[in-house]
Amino acid sequence: MFIPDKNVIAHLHAQDALTQNETLFRALFENSSDIIVLVTAEGLISYVSPSITRILGHPSEEIVGRHVPLLIHPDDLALMQGVFADVLQSPRESLRAEYRLRHCDGSWRWFEGVGMNVLDDPGVEAIVINFRDITDRKQSEDQLLFQADILRNVTESVIVTDLKGSIIYWNEEAQRVFGYTPEEMLGKTTSELYPDSDTMLLAHDLENILAGKDFVGVWLGRRKDGTSVWIDIKTTLLRDSRGAAHGFIGIAKDITSRKVVEQALDIQQQEFQAIAEHARDIISRFDLAYRHVYVNPAIEAFTGLPRHTFIGKTFEELGMPDSLASDWKAALRKVFETGQEEIIEFAFPSPMDSKWFESHLIPEYAHDRTVASVLVIAREFTERKRAEEQLKASEERLRALLEHSADAISLLDHRGRRMYATPSSARIIGYEPTDYLGEGTIEQLHPDDVSQVQQIFTAIIEQPGLSLPAQFRARHKNGSWVWLEGTGTNLLDHPSIQAIVVNYRDITERKQAEEALRQSEENFRVLAASLPEIVWTATPEGSIQYYNQRWYDYTGFEPASKQPEAWSAIIHPDDLSHVLARWEIAHTTGEPFEAEYRLKRADGMYRWHLGRSIAIKEKDGIINKWFGTATDITDQKEAEQQKDEFISIASHELKTPVTTIKGLTQLLKRRLERQGATELVSILASVETQINRLTRLVNDLLDSSKIQAGRLDYVQEAVDLDALVHNIIETMQLTTTTHTISIHGASHASIKGDRDKLEQVFINLISNAIKYSPQATSVDIHLAVSYDMVMVSVHDNGVGIPEEQQHKIFERFYRAQDSTDRAAPGLGMGLYIASEIVKRHHGKITVTSEEGKGSTFTVYLPLES
C-alpha cells in the first residue's frame, strides 16, 4: 500500500517540471487506494482521483466543481470547516482529522483526511487532501472501546496476563476487590495476590489451563491492606486469531462475605450435628409438608426403626396411629403459621409398650422471616408421666374415698372454728362443706353435750398430738339431732395440716339400736322374772349368763353366787348322762335341745322338768347365745302315768268279758244257723262285727299299754314275707267290697321276726289305706328288695295327710286333723303300734303323702343275715 505523505508530495513538486513523468503520476493517483482531492482556497473541488468511484461509488466528474461538504457527514462538517480554516492559515503543513464520507448507496464510511495547503505552489495551487478509508479500523476501535467499557463495567474482576504471568489488564472491579490500582499492578504477576497458595497446586492448575481446560475454583487471596479475600475464579487461556496462546484471563468474584456466612453455617451445622447425633433426646426436623428431613440416631433406640425409614415421610406415611398423626400435624401447622414454639405431650407406640414424650417444636426461619422448617426435640418422660398418673390416680382415689367415706373429717382451728370439711359431711349433718366455714362448731351441738365436748376440746388443744374420742349429738340441717362418734386429734403442729382434725361418723342408728336392745333386754328380764318356768341364757360354750328368779326360788341358791356348774349338781344322777349326751349334740350342731330330767328342789325333792333350749344365732349363723327354759312337768307326768295305768287296767279288765262275749255270740250264731233262724243269724253277724271291732280296740289299747311299759313280747321265727302279704290280702279282700287290693313284685325274702305282729302292721296299713280313701277303688302293694332291706309299700289314692302333720301321725293317740271330722273311726293307736313293732324288728316306717291325692306308707325290714 502506498501512502502519499508530504515527503512524497515534495518529491513530486521537485519533479514538477518533469512532464514526462505526468503519465506516471496520473496512473498512480488513479490506482491509489486513497482518494486524492484537490480543493481551491474557496473550497471547490478542482480534482478528484478516479479511485473515488471504486471507493465511494461516485463518478469523479459528478464531484469535480462541487463544494467539499457535499461528501461530509453533517456531524463532521464543523470539524472539517475548522480544519480547513487551519489548513488555509498554515501553508505546507499537513493537518489530520477523521470524517465520515457518504457512499453513493447512502451509507457512511470513515476516512482519515490529511490536508496540506500548497496554494502557493504554482504547479499545484490547491489544497491537497488525501482521504484514506479507515472504516475497518474504526469499527475495530469501536469494538475495543465497547469491550473495554464492558470490562470496566462488569461486576467481576477481570485480570489479563501474558503467558509469563505479567498483568496486562486490570479492571475496576479487580481494583475494588484487591485494593490495587491498575497502575500498581500492570506488569506485576498475580502471585502476590495469592501468597498463601500452594505453588505445586498452582503449577498443576496452570498446566491444565495451558492444556485448554478452564480452571474454575475458589482461592483465598490477600488484599493490599493485608486482609483475606475469598475469590471464586475462572481462568481461561487467551489465544490470538491464529490460535496461538498469548495470555490468561481470569474472571473472579469476591465471595468473602458468602464464604464467611458459609463457614459460620458450616460450623453451626457441625455443632448441630455433633449435638444432635449424640443427644439422648429425639431430635428431628420437619419441612413444610410435615415430612421428616432429619432425625438423630436416638430415634432408633426409642422406636426400634432405622432412622432412614423416617426421612421424607410424614407421621401418616409412617403408619402412626391416626390420632397421633393428626395431633402432630396440627402442632406443626401451628408452628409454621404462628412462628411460635409449641410443646406437646404424646405417647409413642414402641415395640414393648407406649413411651411418653414431651416435644418442643421450634420454628426455623428462612431469610424472608417465614418459617422454613420445624426442629423438634422430644424428651422421654414415661417414668415421670407414670409417676404423675399414679399420683393423680392416688389423689383421685383419696378424694373418692373422702367423698364416699361413711366418715367425715373436719379441720378446726385452735378456737374450734370450721376451716375445712370433707364432702361426706353433707351426708351426715346436711350442711355442705362450704357452709358455716370459719364459724364455731360448738353452737351446732346438743346443749346436754356441749360441756363434755368443750372439756375434751380443751384437753386436746393443750397437748399437741393428743387424740381423744367423744360421742355427742349435733344438729342436722333439717333440725333433727344426729348422734356422732368422733375422734379429735391435735395436729396444729403438723406442717401441712395445722388444725384440729375431727374424724366423725353417724352413729344414730347404732344408738337407736342400742336403745332398742336395752329396752328389749329390760322387757325380757321382766318377762323372764314373771314366768313360772326356769329361764336361763348361756354363752355359745354353755356357761350360764343369766337365771330368772324362778331358778333361785326353786333351787334355793343365792343370786349372788353364780354356780355355773349347778345344773349337773342338781340333775338326778340317772338322768345326767342322757341330758349331757343331748346337750353335746345340740352344742355341736346348733340344733334345739330338748330333754326330760329330774331337778332337785331346795327341799331335796326331785321333780320332773322338760328342758328346752335354742341357740340364738347371728345373721351369719354363728351362735350368739343359748336361751333355755325348764318347765316343771311332774304333775303332767303323773297324770300321764295315771292315764296309762287306767288304760292298762281297763283294757285288761275288758279283755276277758269281750272275749267271753265273742265266744258266746259265735256259739249262739252257730246254733241259730242250725235251727235256720236266718233273721236272728244276720243280727248276730252284725253283733259279731261290732265285737270284732271292740276286740281290736281292746287289743290295741292293751298293746299300747304294753309297749309303754315295755312289756310287749316278741317271738323270733322265720317269716316268708311274700306269703304273709299274699295271705293278708286274700283274707282282707274277702270282706272288702269297695276296693281292689293288688300286689306288685315280690321280695323272695325270708326274714326273722314275729309273724303275728308283722301281720298286725300290714293289716293296719291296708285298713288305713281303705279307710282314708273312700272315693277310691284300689290299694296297691309293692314288694321289693333294695340292698339289705325288704321294702313293702302300701299306696292309696285317698285324702292324703297335710305335710306339717306327717311326722306326728306315728305318735300315740294322734289323729290327723281332718280324719276326725270325716267320721273315720279310730283312736290314733294303729300307726303308733305299727311303728313300735317295726322298730323292734330293726326297721322303719316312712310316709310320703300329698293332701287330696293319696299316701304311700313304706315298711323297711332288714333281710335275714
- Helix 678-709 to helix 830-840 angle, to the nearest 10 degrees? 50
CB-wise, 256 or 819, nearer to ligand ADP? Answer: 819
Cell numbers representing residue 67 in the block:
463544494
Q: Does 129 bind ligand ADP (CB under 6 A)?
A: no
Total residues binding ligand ADP (CB under 6 A): 20
827 near ligand ADP, judged by CB under 6 A: yes
> Which of 801, 838, 859, 861: binder of ligand ADP (CB under 6 A)?
801
Stretch that binds ligand ADP, among 494-502, 560-568, 714-722, 797-805 (CB under 6 A): 797-805
Interacting residue with ligand ADP among 276, 428, 749, 829 (CB under 6 A): 829
Exposed e or buried b per residue across 647-666, where buried means at least 16 C-beta atoms within 10 angstroms of its C-beta: bbeebeebeeebeeebeebe
Task: Single out the residue of 798, 841, 859, 860 in contact with ligand ADP (rule: CB under 6 A).
Answer: 798
Residues with Cβ within 8 Å of residue 442, at least 6 apart in sequence: 416, 450, 453, 454
How many CB atoms are closer than 10 A to CB 750? 15
Q: Closest CB to ligand ADP among 757 and 815?
A: 815
Closest approach, Cβ 799 to ligand ADP, in A, equals 5
Q: Which is nearer to ligand ADP, 103 or 840 (CB)?
A: 840
Residue 490 contacts by C-beta under 8 Å, 6 or more apart in sequence? 460, 461, 463, 464, 465, 466, 467, 500
Q: What is the residue-wise DSSP string for 835-847?
A: HHHHHHTT-EEEE
Among 48, 830, 837, 841, binds ligand ADP (CB under 6 A): 830
User: Is residue 795 near ligand ADP by the rule CB under 6 A?
Assistant: no
Under rule CB under 6 A, residue 809 binds ligand ADP: yes
We find the least distance from the C-beta atom of residue 715 to ligand ADP, in angstroms, to be: 24
Provide the b/e sequence for 451-462 (b: ≥16 CB within 10 Å).
eebeebbeebbe
Of 298 and 765, the one with the shorter C-beta distance to ligand ADP is 765
Within 13 Å and on the Cβ side, how many CA atoms surround 440? 9
The stretch among 49-57, 254-262, 279-287, 792-800 that binds ligand ADP (CB under 6 A) is 792-800
Query: Is residue 816 involved in binding ligand ADP (CB under 6 A)?
Result: yes
Q: Which three cell numbers stand for residue 667?
A: 256259739
- Minimal distance in Å, beta carbon 639 to ligand ADP? 22
Instruction: Choose between 508 and 848: whose C-beta lies nearer to ligand ADP.
Output: 848
Cβ nearer to ligand ADP, comparing 303 with 768: 768
Q: What residues from 252 to 281 belong to the interface with ligand ADP (CB under 6 A)? A: none
Query: What's the Cα-to-Cα distance from 759 to each of 689, 737, 762, 765, 865, rounded to whole Å?
Result: 20, 21, 5, 10, 21
Q: Of 501, 831, 837, 845, which one interacts with ligand ADP (CB under 6 A)?
A: 831
Instruction: Write the burial class of residue 216 (CB in 10 Å: 0-12 exposed, 13-18 middle, 19+ buried).
Output: exposed
**What's the CA gap between 695 and 709, in Å, rounded?**
21
Closest approach of ligand ADP to the CB of residue 843, in Å? 17
Is residue 768 part of the contact set for ligand ADP (CB under 6 A)? Answer: yes
Among 486, 488, 828, 843, binds ligand ADP (CB under 6 A): 828
The 181-220 site mask, x for binding ligand ADP (CB under 6 A), equals ----------------------------------------
Q: Which of 720, 826, 840, 848 binds ligand ADP (CB under 6 A)?
A: 826
| Pairwise CA distance, residues 13 & 7, whole Å | 10
Q: How far is the CB of 511 from ligand ADP (least distance, A)?
A: 54
Binding to ligand ADP in span 515-554, by CB under 6 A = none
Q: Which of 772, 783, 859, 860 binds ligand ADP (CB under 6 A)?
A: 772
| Contact in structure between 117 and 93 (CB atoms under 8 Å) | yes
- From the number of C-beta atoms within 10 Å of its C-beta (0-12, 13-18, 19+), residue 765 rates as buried
Rounded least distance, CB 812 to ligand ADP, Å: 8
* Nearer Cβ to ligand ADP (691/799): 799
Question: Of these, 131, 855, 859, 860, which contacts ligand ADP (CB under 6 A)?
Answer: 855
The residue among 363 and 828 lying less far from ligand ADP, judged by its C-beta, is 828
Q: Does residue 315 touch ligand ADP according to CB under 6 A?
A: no
Which letter, b or e, does each residue of 600-617 get, where b requires 16 or more Cβ atoms within 10 Å of its Cβ?
bbeeeebbbbbbebbbee
* C-beta separation of 745 from 783 below 8 A: yes
Shortest distance (Å) from residue 733 CB to ligand ADP: 17
In angstroms, the CA 250 to CA 211 distance is 16
CB of 703 to ligand ADP, least distance (A): 12
Looking at beta carbons, which residue is closest to ligand ADP?
A: 826
Cα(230)–Cα(193) distance, integer angstroms:
11
Residue 481, Cα to own-chain centre: how many angstroms?
Answer: 46
Nearest distance from residue 536's CB to ligand ADP, in Å?
A: 37
H helices present in 280-404, as ranges: 298-303, 322-338, 382-404
Q: How far is the CB of 849 from ligand ADP (least distance, A)?
A: 7
CB of 759 to ligand ADP, least distance (A): 16
Pick between residue 363 and residue 800 the one whose CB is nearest to ligand ADP. Answer: 800
CB nearer to ligand ADP: give 302 or 814.
814
Residues 571-590, mask of contacts with ligand ADP (x by CB under 6 A): --------------------
Min CB(840)–ligand ADP separation in Å: 17
Tell me how far, at minimum, the Cβ of 661 lies from ligand ADP, in Å: 22
Q: Which residues pair with 126 in a beta bridge?
A: 118
What DSSP line would sit under 65-90, residue for residue?
Answer: TSBGGGTB-GGGHHHHHHHHHHHHHS
Q: Which of 178, 161, 157, 180 is nearest to 169 (CA)?
A: 161
- Single-letter amino acid code for the residue at 184: E
d(CA 667, CA 672): 9
Residue with cell 395436729: 491
Helices (H), 227-321: 256-278, 298-303
Round to whole Å and give the CA distance between 521 and 753. Answer: 57
Q: Which amino acid is at 170?
A: W
Q: Are 362 and 375 in contact (CB under 8 A)?
A: yes
Q: Whole-angstrom Cα distance, residue 626 to residue 649?
A: 43
| CB of 566 vs ligand ADP, minimal distance in Å | 42
Instruction: Residue 863: count other Cβ atoms within 10 Å of its Cβ.
Output: 16
Minimal distance, residue 709 CB to ligand ADP, in Å: 19
Restricted to residues 736-765, the positions that interact with ligand ADP (CB under 6 A) are 764
**Residue 41 is a binding residue for ligand ADP (CB under 6 A):** no
Residue 115 and residue 110: Cα distance in Å, rounded?
16
Between 611 and 830, CB nearer to ligand ADP: 830
Q: How far is the CB of 701 from ligand ADP (least distance, A)?
A: 12
Binding of ligand ADP at residue 797 (CB under 6 A)? Answer: no
Q: Is 796 in the site for ligand ADP (CB under 6 A)?
A: yes
Closest approach of Cβ 848 to ligand ADP, in Å?
Answer: 11
* Buried b / exposed e along 346-360 (16+ C-beta atoms within 10 A): bebeeeeeebbbbbe
Kindly tell me which residue out of 51, 547, 819, 861 binds ligand ADP, with binding defined by CB under 6 A: 819
Query: Which three cell numbers mark 279?
Result: 443427644
User: Is position 815 an interface residue for ligand ADP (rule: CB under 6 A)?
Assistant: yes
Question: What's the closest the beta carbon of residue 651 comes to ligand ADP, in angstroms?
Answer: 15
What's the full length of the chain, in residues?
A: 865
Alpha-carbon gap, residue 754 to 714, rounded angstroms? 6
502 or 728: whose CB is closer to ligand ADP?
A: 728
- What gap in Å lies between CA 620 and CA 155, rounded to an integer? 107
Contact residues toward ligand ADP (CB under 6 A) are 764, 768-769, 772, 796, 798-799, 801, 809, 815-816, 819, 826-832, 855
